[in-house]
Structure formats: C-alpha cells, structure tokens
Structure 1
C-alpha cells in the first residue's frame, strides 16, 4: 500500500446542481447557468449536456433549442453556490482527517491510514452517500497515491457509470490500464499548448507521459512537467495544503448591464467595487497600500472607438478602511474619465498587502486609538451586512444602480436570506 493516499472529491455539474437543489420539479429537466449579464452558458446539467448544449455558447444562439427542449436558464447565483460549497466542504471535514479546498466544487482529502480500517472503495462510496444525503449534491471520488492520479481517477469516475462514482487507483496495474485510455491533455497541469508539444514527441496518452524519461522532460519542458511525470508513476510530489495561501491581490470588476455614459454612474460603479474589494480584504485579515482603477469600452463594438485606461495610487500607510479607498478611487476616476464614450466595464484592484500593525509607521499614521475606532466601524458594517446585505452602504455607491449586472433569471437566495427561505405547503 502506498505511503500516501489522496482522494479528489468533485461535485457533479455543481452550479446546475445547486439550482436544482431547491427545485425538485426540475429534477429531470435540462438546466443551464449563465455568465455575468446573462451572456453565455457557463454550466450545464447532465440533461443539457446530453442535448448537445455547448459550454460558452451565447444564450441568444440556442434560443431555438431552449424552447424546443424546455431548457431552464438561471443567472449565476454566486451567494448560493458559495454557501452550498461550504456545506459540502464541512461535510468532508467531518468525515476525513484533512481537507484541502481546491476550488468551489473540488477538494482533496487525505485518506492515508484509512485502508487498514476500511476498504478505500467502500470509504469513497460512504463519502459520496453522506454528501448526497446531508447536502443534496452528487459527487464523484477519485482515490490514488498522488494528487495527479487522484484527478485522473476522478475523471474515470465521472466518465464511466459502472464505477458508481468512485475509482480506486492505488493498484499500479490498474493505474497503467487507466493511463493508457486517457489522452495526455486530460492530465492535470497539461494544457492545450503543452499537449501539442508532447504530441510532437509521440506522447499522446497519459501512460506514454508516465513512461517518459523524467530528466529529459525536465530539460525540454520544466520541473513542473517532470513533477507530473513522477506523480503519474505514483510518487507524491504535491502535498496537501490545509491552509489556504493569502491572495496577493484582490480584483473587483464587472461588465455593466447597460453602457455607462455619465461620470456620476461610473463613480457609483467604482464605489461599489471598492466596497466589495475592501470587504474581501478585511475577511482576509489584510491591509493594502496600492489601489488601481480601470475603465474600458467594449472591444466588440466596432461602431465606436476603443478606449481603455487605468491609474494607480499608493496610500501613505496600508489600510482596509473602505472610506480611505473610496476617496482615492474618486481621485483616480477624475484622472481617468473621458467624455463621449460608452463604457462597458470597470474595476478596481488592491495590491501590496500587509498584516495589520506590521508596517513602517510615518508622520501620517493615525493615532492607535483612531485606528482602533476605524477598525471597529468597518467590522460593525461587515457584521450588519452579513445578516442582511446592503443594510449599510456608502452614499457614493448610489441607490438605483441602473448600470448593475443584468440577472433576469436569478434564483432566490435560499440559504443566505431569511426572506428567500423556501416555504413548504
């Protein structure tokens, strides 16, 4: 038995599954989830995939199929997806020794030491059943001695129904059988460009990559690809990361539901994005020193000239106070704004992060008692808005945000808003 055992637990058709969770009437109905401003299809249920609905296709191009097959469309409901994801991850944490949240719908779990107590395939089936029964989301489980192999095991669990959603790849013979069936571009970390280069060397399957000389691969590609080769041979080179690394930047940006032509509306949009970015900054328990603001027109509108520009500014001392960044953002917008353009998108970026209280003081640093008061004020605003969104907001964000993202098919906030709780009659 290998010294390390990982499992990759991946939610099936996650966004679409979340939308179906509180709509039992849609259990067997094809469902699609749309991108920002309801532009393109970014997620599909199993039924929608079977109808041939493609990922990334603009919604207007499949209107005929939507009507013909009764396909139901939903706007992206990120609050719902994040909450359901947290429930899935909490369930995994209660059942396994250690969990690394890899993405909103994926997690690596440590199964090392489980085998003497329980068969790994049976343990995978137990995880699958618990998540299904406790949360209502279907998952597939791939088990292997390395993360890369666990990814491939999960790929097999989704692709072949006979696996019952769980594949155990701890057996080297079984590993090689699967690797021979998997195209090299399905290997974790091998993208389109890399797979084309590998194909020139005659490497078209995962097994051929596993059998390649690791030193040769390192010389002609990179140490990352060499690590992938070793992982495919069952050597664990990528450890479980239980502590999520701190982000190095925070970006808050959206395309507008309708074009912005006046500066006042752009100020509202920028203020909204600054507020969201600062909230994330405080959740991360960080302070930032640099702010960047950008505005741009649509690259797809050939009737008007393209305009895109950005400006940055440094604070005297790092901060997480929304009011400080709102004042700086207004200065930057004054420098950026040009009349007679129809703006399609804007955003802000926070960079140069510091831990609170761990930066060089200067003459402009506020007294400690004032800093503490500012911190408590921001914390109070966050706490109130956590109970009910937009309980308190800054005047510069505006009240009627006509420019806000178009979400005509948005489902209720079933789990995060008291007023949207489902009612059973």
Structure 2
C-alpha cells in the first residue's frame, strides 16, 4: 500500500515551550539563551522583529533586552524534553510508523490518499491535535518522500500556507522552484555553493540535474536526493541511524573549577550523564575518553588534558565509568582554572550478549532502578555520590523557568 510522509516540526520550539506555562509571554519578544547563558539560541518572531539575531553573545544584547522588555529564558532541557515527548506521542498516534528525528521534529507515515485536499485536512488535524493537547504550535509538511516532506515543511512556514503544505505532482515544481538548494535536506552550504557555480540555484534545478553527473561530482547521497526530490521512494525506517556510535556529555562550567575535588565531581557528573544516555539506547561501551581544559580568555591561556581508557569489559554502569575516571584524573590534574570538562563513551555496541561471569559488568538492576526513579521523581533525584552535592561548577542559568513537568516541587499552581 502506498503511503505519505508527514514531517511535524515545532515552531520556534524552545521559545514556544516557555510560553506553554507562561501564556503571558505570547506576543512578547522572547529569547532563549544557551548553556551558561552564553548566547541566544532561539528567538520569538517579536524578538526577531526588534533586530535580535541568533547566536549573539547575550552580554552584548543584555542591556538592549532590558530596555525593550525582552523576556529572557535560560535553556531548560528537562522541560523541553518532556514537551517533546508529549508532542511526538500526539503526532504519531494515528500513523503506521514514525521516527523522531530531533527534539522538535518527527517523521510519521500515513496512508496515502492522493487527494491533496484530504492530505491538507490531515495536516490541519495534526496541528489542531498537538495545539489542543500540548499547546505547541507546529508546522506540517507532507510529501511522497522524506526529502519532499522536509521541503513541504519548509514551505509551510511561508506566507500563504498557514502551517500546512502538501507537495504532490500538481504543485511540486512551483514549490521546489521557490526553494534554494541550500534549503534542501542533505545539501548544505558547501555543496550549495558548488551547485550555484554551475548555475543550479533552486531545488527544482537540482531535481532536474542528471543523476549520473550528480553522482560523479557529489557522490551517491546527492544522487539519492535528486531521486527523492522527484518522488522516488528510496527509504526504509531501518535505514535511519537509531543508535549513536559515540556518546558525549560535555559543557563549559558556570564557575571555574580550581580543586581536584571539584574536577572529580564534574567529570563524574558527565560520566553518569553519558552512561544514562548509553543505557537509554540499550548499549554498552568498551572505551571512554575524558578531558578538561582552560579558557583562552583566562590569563593562563588554553591548557588541559585528555585521556582515553579501555574498559575491562563493555559496560553502561554509571558507577564503573565514574570510578574509572576519578581514579585516573589525579595524575593529570594541574592547579589551573578549568573552564570546560567532558566525558565521551566510544566503541559502542548493543548491550545484548554480556559475560555473566564477569565482575566488571556492574549492577544493571541497580542502574535500571536508578533510571526509573529519576524518570518518575525528576532528573537527578538519585545520583552517584561522586557527583557531589552542591555542584558549584554547574552551568549558570540565571533565567531558568521551573521544571513544570519533571519536578514535584515545581508543578504549576492553579488558582480557582
């Protein structure tokens, strides 16, 4: 049976999440700033209208924001993740199959009613259901392939489509003709510049390119993109990269780390974060890397260390991974103010066949209980003691909104 692919995409996702529990923010200029309140990562349309730009250091626009009544929010990843889960649950409820592509995007496969009007009704229903149940505005693009669904979603955000666009034979050329090659999924800026030098500026011109020429000049991926722009299905959900081959947890700190104890705590915290993600995809790692470095803006200049450890046995146990790092870090510590630390898990494989007689595997049952408790009671409710209690080094988030959906102490209060 033929099918149609829908791409549902949260509009200005981070800022829209902040508005769900603070509806008074709607219609006001709002920005969300990155880790340590470093730079703007999301702008509401009202903030963009004031001339604010993404990826601008916050300290450069802080006074402007205060003078113009701009709402500033620190990134609240716990809130965004939970809203993302609710959004995807609603968007995928009536589809045949689905694939979450990112925190704010989900592909969903539906039965293909060839009538564009009926497909538009499907798109409007998806938007309506997500808004009614999650209060999240989304755009919906529908097409015969993933690439066309992406293109339709891109068009849906433009004037005239009101958040829903369907690409079928009757309008494919018109929509692709108004779309730059750099906006096509999988093309990117570098290839787009090369295409432009050849006189290929739009997605339609790319779709009309000879596939043999594209393969010779750009490789098989661009050749496949051309097929998909022309509606040729070349996709299986199993082809999507589900599990990561490397998992990292790394972040700049809010307060410089100047003691060995603080460094151990920070590295242990990131080790446990990476291990949690590893367990989330039911994998184990055979190797890890940990590092710490200073800031180029400090008087010491850039310095630091990086060390790789091959684990005795593949594991996803937070305590084992944390212990491996904290035991090794003392020999690398220097009395300098560390600004950025991180842990990576490498050589990842499915956690299916483990040596039951190996004492280095850890305690999977304990890890499972810890994960479930943190899921039910809020992230960080149960943690490895080596992570420390106060965590003064954690990132600065001066404008953090409450974790309305993941912390019992921050559940919204309704006044009747």
Q: Which TM class, normalised by the smaller chain length?
A: over 0.9
1:270 aligned residue: 267
1:302-313 aligned at under 5 Å gives the runs 303-313=299-309
- TM-score when normalising by structure 1: 0.92
1:104-123 aligned at under 5 Å gives the runs 104-115=103-114, 119-123=118-122
In structure 2, relative to structure 1, the CA distance for the partners of 1:241 and 1:121 (3 Å cut) is: farther
What is the deviation of 1:69? 2.3
Query: Comparing 186-195 with 238-247, which one deviates more in the overlay?
Result: 238-247
Query: Comparing 349-358 with 120-129, which one deviates more in the overlay?
Result: 349-358
Matched, 1:404 2:394: yes
Q: Report the 3-state secondary structure (helix = DSSP H, G, I; strand = E; otherwise coil) of the residue aligned with 1:95.
A: coil
2:164 aligned residue: 166
Q: Report the 3-state secondary structure (helix = DSSP H, G, I; strand = E; otherwise coil) of the residue aligned with 2:171.
A: helix
8 Å Cα contact 2:116/2:168 also seen in 1: no
Out of 367, 376, 379, the position equivalent to 1:387 is 376
2-side partners of 1:357 and 1:286: how far apart? 8
In structure 2, relative to structure 1, the CA distance for the partners of 1:384 and 1:107 (3 Å cut) is: closer
1:12-53 Cα distance to aligned partner (Å, 9 max, x none): 001000000000111111111110000100011121122221
- RMSD (Å) for aligned C-alpha atoms: 2.1
Out of 292, 317, 325, the position equivalent to 1:295 is 292
8 Å Cα contact 1:293/1:332 also seen in 2: no
1:283-362 aligned at under 5 Å gives the runs 283-299=280-296, 301=297, 303-339=299-335, 341-356=336-351, 358-359=353-354
1:103-155 Cα distance to aligned partner (Å, 9 max, x none): 11111111233447981111111111111111101111111111111111111
1:314-333 Cα distance to aligned partner (Å, 9 max, x none): 12211222221122102331
In structure 2, relative to structure 1, the CA distance for the partners of 1:159 and 1:259 (3 Å cut) is: same
- TM-score when normalising by structure 2: 0.94
2:91 aligned residue: 92
1:366 aligned residue: 359
1:319-371 Cα distance to aligned partner (Å, 9 max, x none): 222221122102331232222x2211011111223434525688xx229xxx6
8 Å Cα contact 1:6/1:143 also seen in 2: yes
Q: Report the 3-state secondary structure (helix = DSSP H, G, I; strand = E; otherwise coil) of the residue aligned with 1:164.
A: coil
What is the deviation of 1:170? 1.2
What is the deviation of 1:225? 0.7
What is the deviation of 1:165? 1.0
1:63 aligned residue: 62
In structure 2, relative to structure 1, the CA distance for the partners of 1:10 and 1:391 (3 Å cut) is: closer
2-side partners of 1:242 and 1:413: how far apart? 35
Q: Report the 3-state secondary structure (helix = DSSP H, G, I; strand = E; otherwise coil) of the residue aligned with 1:193.
A: helix
8 Å Cα contact 1:414/1:421 also seen in 2: yes
What is the deviation of 1:390? 3.2
Q: Report the 3-state secondary structure (helix = DSSP H, G, I; strand = E; otherwise coil) of the residue aligned with 1:163.
A: coil
1:103 aligned residue: 102
Q: Report the 3-state secondary structure (helix = DSSP H, G, I; strand = E; otherwise coil) of the residue aligned with 1:409.
A: coil
In structure 2, relative to structure 1, the CA distance for the partners of 1:357 and 1:26 (3 Å cut) is: closer
In structure 2, relative to structure 1, the CA distance for the partners of 1:165 and 1:328 (3 Å cut) is: same
2:201 aligned residue: 204
What is the deviation of 1:60? 1.4
What is the deviation of 1:244? 6.3
Q: Report the 3-state secondary structure (helix = DSSP H, G, I; strand = E; otherwise coil) of the residue aligned with 1:385.
A: helix
1-side partners of 2:399 and 2:82: how far apart? 19
1-side partners of 2:147 and 2:115: how far apart? 23
1:20 aligned residue: 19
1:118-137 aligned at under 5 Å gives the runs 119-137=118-136
8 Å Cα contact 2:249/2:271 also seen in 1: yes
What is the deviation of 1:206? 1.1
Matched, 1:416 2:406: yes
Matched, 1:261 2:254: no
